[in-house]
Protein backbone atom coordinates (compact mmCIF):
# COMPACT_ATOMS: atom_id res chain seq x y z
CA UNK A 1 0.00 0.00 0.00
CA UNK A 2 1.17 3.54 -0.76
CA UNK A 3 1.58 6.02 2.03
CA UNK A 4 2.68 9.64 1.97
CA UNK A 5 5.38 11.37 3.98
CA UNK A 6 6.73 14.90 4.38
CA UNK A 7 10.15 15.25 2.76
CA UNK A 8 10.64 19.02 2.87
CA UNK A 9 9.19 22.22 4.32
CA UNK A 10 9.59 25.91 3.61
CA UNK A 11 8.21 29.21 4.82
CA UNK A 12 8.11 32.84 3.75
CA UNK A 13 7.20 35.95 5.74
CA UNK A 14 7.08 39.47 4.28
CA UNK A 15 9.82 41.86 5.38
CA UNK A 16 7.49 44.51 6.83
CA UNK A 17 6.59 43.98 10.50
CA UNK A 18 3.72 45.75 12.26
CA UNK A 19 4.08 45.59 16.04
CA UNK A 20 1.44 46.11 18.69
CA UNK A 21 3.17 49.40 19.51
CA UNK A 22 2.68 50.47 15.89
CA UNK A 23 -1.02 49.64 16.14
CA UNK A 24 -1.35 51.74 19.28
CA UNK A 25 -0.59 54.77 17.11
CA UNK A 26 -3.40 54.16 14.61
CA UNK A 27 -6.28 52.57 16.57
CA UNK A 28 -7.64 52.52 20.11
CA UNK A 29 -5.75 49.53 21.48
CA UNK A 30 -2.77 48.61 23.64
CA UNK A 31 -0.01 46.05 23.49
CA UNK A 32 -1.26 44.63 26.80
CA UNK A 33 -4.84 44.25 25.51
CA UNK A 34 -3.72 42.42 22.36
CA UNK A 35 -1.27 40.11 24.15
CA UNK A 36 -3.75 39.24 26.89
CA UNK A 37 -6.50 38.22 24.47
CA UNK A 38 -4.47 36.57 21.72
CA UNK A 39 -0.78 36.21 22.60
CA UNK A 40 0.16 38.28 19.53
CA UNK A 41 3.05 40.76 19.64
CA UNK A 42 3.54 41.48 15.93
CA UNK A 43 2.51 40.48 12.43
CA UNK A 44 4.06 40.57 8.94
CA UNK A 45 2.45 42.67 6.20
CA UNK A 46 2.82 41.90 2.49
CA UNK A 47 4.42 44.62 0.39
CA UNK A 48 2.40 46.18 -2.42
CA UNK A 49 4.12 44.03 -5.05
CA UNK A 50 3.63 40.78 -3.11
CA UNK A 51 0.73 38.40 -3.71
CA UNK A 52 -0.34 35.03 -2.41
CA UNK A 53 1.29 33.37 -5.44
CA UNK A 54 4.58 35.26 -5.09
CA UNK A 55 4.83 34.37 -1.39
CA UNK A 56 3.86 30.77 -2.18
CA UNK A 57 6.68 30.65 -4.73
CA UNK A 58 9.27 31.63 -2.13
CA UNK A 59 7.97 29.06 0.39
CA UNK A 60 7.84 26.39 -2.33
CA UNK A 61 11.43 27.00 -3.47
CA UNK A 62 12.64 26.63 0.10
CA UNK A 63 10.65 23.40 0.55
CA UNK A 64 12.02 22.01 -2.72
CA UNK A 65 15.56 22.84 -1.62
CA UNK A 66 14.97 21.09 1.72
CA UNK A 67 13.69 18.02 -0.14
CA UNK A 68 16.53 18.17 -2.71
CA UNK A 69 13.96 18.17 -5.53
CA UNK A 70 13.40 20.19 -8.70
CA UNK A 71 10.14 21.91 -9.69
CA UNK A 72 9.73 19.41 -12.52
CA UNK A 73 9.53 16.60 -9.93
CA UNK A 74 6.15 17.94 -8.74
CA UNK A 75 3.04 16.04 -9.89
CA UNK A 76 0.44 17.97 -7.90
CA UNK A 77 0.10 21.50 -6.50
CA UNK A 78 -2.64 22.38 -4.01
CA UNK A 79 -2.80 25.87 -2.53
CA UNK A 80 -4.97 26.60 0.50
CA UNK A 81 -5.96 30.25 0.34
CA UNK A 82 -8.86 32.67 0.74
CA UNK A 83 -6.84 35.51 -0.75
CA UNK A 84 -6.12 34.40 -4.32
CA UNK A 85 -4.31 36.74 -6.71
CA UNK A 86 -7.35 36.63 -9.00
CA UNK A 87 -10.85 35.20 -8.99
CA UNK A 88 -9.40 32.85 -11.60
CA UNK A 89 -7.16 31.26 -12.68
CA UNK A 90 -6.29 29.58 -9.41
CA UNK A 91 -3.30 30.65 -7.34
CA UNK A 92 -2.00 27.11 -7.84
CA UNK A 93 -1.96 27.58 -11.63
CA UNK A 94 -0.19 30.92 -11.24
CA UNK A 95 2.32 29.21 -8.95
CA UNK A 96 2.79 26.38 -11.43
CA UNK A 97 3.81 28.91 -14.08
CA UNK A 98 6.12 30.74 -11.66
CA UNK A 99 7.91 27.53 -10.66
CA UNK A 100 8.05 26.00 -14.15
CA UNK A 101 6.79 22.63 -12.98
CA UNK A 102 5.27 21.61 -16.31
CA UNK A 103 1.68 20.47 -16.72
CA UNK A 104 1.09 19.00 -13.28
CA UNK A 105 -2.31 19.00 -11.54
CA UNK A 106 -2.93 22.38 -9.88
CA UNK A 107 -5.89 23.76 -7.93
CA UNK A 108 -6.86 25.82 -4.88
CA UNK A 109 -8.76 24.88 -1.73
CA UNK A 110 -10.82 27.40 0.26
CA UNK A 111 -11.37 26.20 3.81
CA UNK A 112 -10.10 29.44 5.38
CA UNK A 113 -7.77 28.73 8.33
CA UNK A 114 -8.24 24.98 7.84
CA UNK A 115 -7.18 25.31 4.19
CA UNK A 116 -3.75 23.78 4.60
CA UNK A 117 -5.09 20.78 6.54
CA UNK A 118 -7.76 20.23 3.87
CA UNK A 119 -5.15 20.51 1.10
CA UNK A 120 -2.77 18.22 2.98
CA UNK A 121 -5.50 15.59 3.36
CA UNK A 122 -6.37 15.76 -0.35
CA UNK A 123 -2.73 15.38 -1.35
CA UNK A 124 -2.41 12.38 0.97
CA UNK A 125 -5.35 10.72 -0.80
CA UNK A 126 -3.84 11.39 -4.24
CA UNK A 127 -0.58 9.76 -3.17
CA UNK A 128 -2.24 6.81 -1.43
CA UNK A 129 -4.20 5.95 -4.58
CA UNK A 130 -1.03 6.05 -6.67
CA UNK A 131 -2.31 8.92 -8.82
CA UNK A 132 0.74 11.06 -8.01
CA UNK A 133 4.14 10.54 -6.43
CA UNK A 134 5.16 14.04 -5.35
CA UNK A 135 2.85 16.82 -4.12
CA UNK A 136 3.46 20.45 -3.20
CA UNK A 137 0.98 21.64 -0.57
CA UNK A 138 0.91 25.30 0.41
CA UNK A 139 -0.99 27.71 2.60
CA UNK A 140 -0.52 31.30 1.44
CA UNK A 141 -2.46 34.38 2.53
CA UNK A 142 -2.44 38.16 2.13
CA UNK A 143 -5.20 38.41 4.70
CA UNK A 144 -4.34 41.90 5.90
CA UNK A 145 -5.79 43.25 2.65
CA UNK A 146 -9.28 42.29 3.73
CA UNK A 147 -9.08 43.83 7.21
CA UNK A 148 -10.92 46.90 8.41
CA UNK A 149 -8.10 48.81 10.10
CA UNK A 150 -10.66 50.75 12.14
CA UNK A 151 -11.99 47.55 13.74
CA UNK A 152 -9.69 46.83 16.66
CA UNK A 153 -11.39 43.50 17.41
CA UNK A 154 -10.15 41.97 14.13
CA UNK A 155 -7.32 44.00 12.60
CA UNK A 156 -4.91 43.18 15.44
CA UNK A 157 -5.26 39.43 14.93
CA UNK A 158 -4.05 38.70 11.41
CA UNK A 159 -0.89 38.70 9.32
CA UNK A 160 0.47 37.59 5.94
CA UNK A 161 2.76 34.72 4.96
CA UNK A 162 3.15 31.39 3.20
CA UNK A 163 4.17 27.89 4.27
CA UNK A 164 4.85 24.84 2.10
CA UNK A 165 5.44 21.12 2.41
CA UNK A 166 6.58 18.54 -0.11
CA UNK A 167 4.89 15.15 0.24
CA UNK A 168 6.08 11.98 -1.46
CA UNK A 169 4.99 8.36 -1.76
CA UNK A 170 6.47 6.05 0.87
CA UNK A 171 6.30 2.41 1.91
CA UNK A 172 5.53 3.34 5.52
CA UNK A 173 3.47 6.19 7.00
CA UNK A 174 4.17 9.17 6.95
CA UNK A 175 0.71 10.38 7.33
CA UNK A 176 -1.33 8.03 9.53
CA UNK A 177 -4.70 9.73 9.18
CA UNK A 178 -6.42 13.02 8.43
CA UNK A 179 -9.76 14.21 9.77
CA UNK A 180 -11.88 16.96 8.19
CA UNK A 181 -15.10 18.61 9.38
CA UNK A 182 -17.33 21.56 8.54
CA UNK A 183 -20.55 23.10 9.84
CA UNK A 184 -22.08 25.74 7.60
CA UNK A 185 -24.71 26.62 10.20
CA UNK A 186 -22.07 28.89 11.74
CA UNK A 187 -21.19 30.62 8.48
CA UNK A 188 -21.89 34.13 9.81
CA UNK A 189 -19.59 33.86 12.85
CA UNK A 190 -16.45 34.35 10.76
CA UNK A 191 -16.85 35.60 7.22
CA UNK A 192 -16.31 38.27 4.59
CA UNK A 193 -19.65 39.49 3.22
CA UNK A 194 -18.35 39.77 -0.35
CA UNK A 195 -15.14 40.24 -2.26
CA UNK A 196 -16.73 41.44 -5.48
CA UNK A 197 -18.19 44.93 -5.60
CA UNK A 198 -20.83 43.80 -8.07
CA UNK A 199 -22.19 41.34 -5.50
CA UNK A 200 -22.36 43.70 -2.55
CA UNK A 201 -25.40 45.44 -1.22
CA UNK A 202 -24.90 49.11 -0.27
CA UNK A 203 -24.61 48.34 3.46
CA UNK A 204 -22.01 45.59 3.07
CA UNK A 205 -18.26 46.03 3.37
CA UNK A 206 -15.62 43.70 1.88
CA UNK A 207 -13.90 43.22 5.22
CA UNK A 208 -13.42 40.25 7.51
CA UNK A 209 -16.04 40.07 10.25
CA UNK A 210 -15.88 37.81 13.32
CA UNK A 211 -17.89 37.02 16.41
CA UNK A 212 -14.77 36.26 18.40
CA UNK A 213 -16.34 34.99 21.61
CA UNK A 214 -18.59 32.50 19.83
CA UNK A 215 -15.82 31.29 17.54
CA UNK A 216 -13.56 30.79 20.56
CA UNK A 217 -16.10 28.59 22.36
CA UNK A 218 -16.82 26.39 19.34
CA UNK A 219 -13.13 26.09 18.47
CA UNK A 220 -12.17 24.86 21.93
CA UNK A 221 -14.99 22.30 21.93
CA UNK A 222 -14.48 20.97 18.40
CA UNK A 223 -10.68 20.86 18.59
CA UNK A 224 -11.02 18.88 21.80
CA UNK A 225 -13.34 16.45 20.01
CA UNK A 226 -10.85 16.31 17.14
CA UNK A 227 -8.07 15.23 19.49
CA UNK A 228 -10.24 12.36 20.75
CA UNK A 229 -11.17 11.35 17.21
CA UNK A 230 -7.58 11.33 15.98
CA UNK A 231 -6.23 9.36 18.93
CA UNK A 232 -9.07 6.83 18.75
CA UNK A 233 -8.65 6.30 15.00
CA UNK A 234 -5.01 5.40 15.50
CA UNK A 235 -5.45 3.61 18.85
CA UNK A 236 -2.73 5.64 20.55
CA UNK A 237 -2.56 7.38 23.95
CA UNK A 238 -2.08 11.11 24.44
CA UNK A 239 1.47 10.44 25.60
CA UNK A 240 2.42 9.18 22.13
CA UNK A 241 2.25 12.69 20.66
CA UNK A 242 5.64 14.40 20.59
CA UNK A 243 4.55 17.77 19.19
CA UNK A 244 1.34 19.70 18.68
CA UNK A 245 1.48 21.90 15.56
CA UNK A 246 -1.66 24.04 15.89
CA UNK A 247 -3.29 26.76 13.88
CA UNK A 248 -1.90 30.01 15.25
CA UNK A 249 -5.05 32.04 15.93
CA UNK A 250 -5.10 32.53 19.66
CA UNK A 251 -2.73 31.27 22.35
CA UNK A 252 -5.62 30.49 24.70
CA UNK A 253 -7.16 28.14 22.11
CA UNK A 254 -3.76 26.57 21.47
CA UNK A 255 -3.18 25.86 25.15
CA UNK A 256 -6.70 24.45 25.60
CA UNK A 257 -5.87 21.86 22.93
CA UNK A 258 -2.47 21.19 24.52
CA UNK A 259 -4.17 20.62 27.86
CA UNK A 260 -6.51 18.09 26.21
CA UNK A 261 -3.40 16.22 25.02
CA UNK A 262 -1.62 16.55 28.35
CA UNK A 263 1.21 18.43 26.62
CA UNK A 264 3.30 21.08 28.32
CA UNK A 265 3.79 24.34 26.43
CA UNK A 266 7.35 23.21 25.66
CA UNK A 267 5.89 20.48 23.39
CA UNK A 268 3.77 22.88 21.36
CA UNK A 269 5.09 24.85 18.38
CA UNK A 270 3.81 28.38 19.00
CA UNK A 271 4.48 31.16 16.49
CA UNK A 272 1.38 33.28 17.09
CA UNK A 273 3.36 35.99 18.93
CA UNK A 274 5.57 36.61 15.89
CA UNK A 275 3.26 35.73 12.99
CA UNK A 276 -0.28 36.43 14.30
CA UNK A 277 -3.03 34.49 12.48
CA UNK A 278 -1.90 33.84 8.90
CA UNK A 279 -4.96 31.69 8.17
CA UNK A 280 -4.08 28.73 5.90
CA UNK A 281 -0.37 29.57 6.15
CA UNK A 282 -0.15 29.25 9.93
CA UNK A 283 0.20 25.47 10.33
CA UNK A 284 2.89 24.98 7.64
CA UNK A 285 4.76 28.05 8.88
CA UNK A 286 4.75 26.66 12.43
CA UNK A 287 5.79 23.22 11.17
CA UNK A 288 8.67 24.72 9.19
CA UNK A 289 9.77 26.79 12.19
CA UNK A 290 9.88 23.72 14.43
CA UNK A 291 11.86 21.72 11.88
CA UNK A 292 14.28 24.48 10.97
CA UNK A 293 15.19 25.30 14.60
CA UNK A 294 15.76 21.63 15.40
CA UNK A 295 12.96 21.04 17.88
CA UNK A 296 11.14 18.59 15.58
CA UNK A 297 13.32 15.60 14.76
CA UNK A 298 13.06 12.63 12.43
CA UNK A 299 10.72 10.03 13.91
CA UNK A 300 8.69 12.48 16.01
CA UNK A 301 4.92 12.02 16.03
CA UNK A 302 3.12 15.26 15.19
CA UNK A 303 -0.50 16.34 15.53
CA UNK A 304 -1.39 19.12 13.10
CA UNK A 305 -4.74 20.86 13.62
CA UNK A 306 -6.64 23.94 12.51
CA UNK A 307 -9.99 25.68 12.90
CA UNK A 308 -11.43 28.37 10.64
CA UNK A 309 -14.34 30.05 8.91
CA UNK A 310 -17.03 27.90 7.42
CA UNK A 311 -16.86 26.80 10.12
CA UNK A 312 -14.22 24.21 9.24
CA UNK A 313 -11.73 22.21 11.26
CA UNK A 314 -9.33 19.35 10.72
CA UNK A 315 -6.29 17.43 11.87
CA UNK A 316 -3.47 15.24 10.58
CA UNK A 317 -1.39 12.71 12.50
CA UNK A 318 2.08 12.60 10.99
CA UNK A 319 5.35 10.77 11.63
CA UNK A 320 8.08 13.15 10.55
Q: Which of 44, 179, 247, 275 is catalytic?
A: 247
Q: Which of 113, 155, 179, 275 is catalytic?
A: 113
Degrees to nearest 5, angle at CA 49 with 47 and 54 = 95
Q: Is 155 a catalytic residue?
A: no
Q: Which of 155, 250, 275, 277 is catalytic?
A: 277
Q: Is 179 a catalytic residue?
A: no
Which residues are catalytic, by number? Answer: 113, 247, 277
Amino acid sequence: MNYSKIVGTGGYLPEKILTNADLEKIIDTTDEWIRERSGIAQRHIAADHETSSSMAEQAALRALAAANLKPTDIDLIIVGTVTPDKVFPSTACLLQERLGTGKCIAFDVNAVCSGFIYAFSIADQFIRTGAVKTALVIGSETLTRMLNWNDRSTCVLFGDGAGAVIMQAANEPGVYSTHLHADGRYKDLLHVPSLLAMQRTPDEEPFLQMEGREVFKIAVTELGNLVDETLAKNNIPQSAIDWLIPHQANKRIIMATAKKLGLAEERVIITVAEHANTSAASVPLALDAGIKDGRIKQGDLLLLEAFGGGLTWGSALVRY
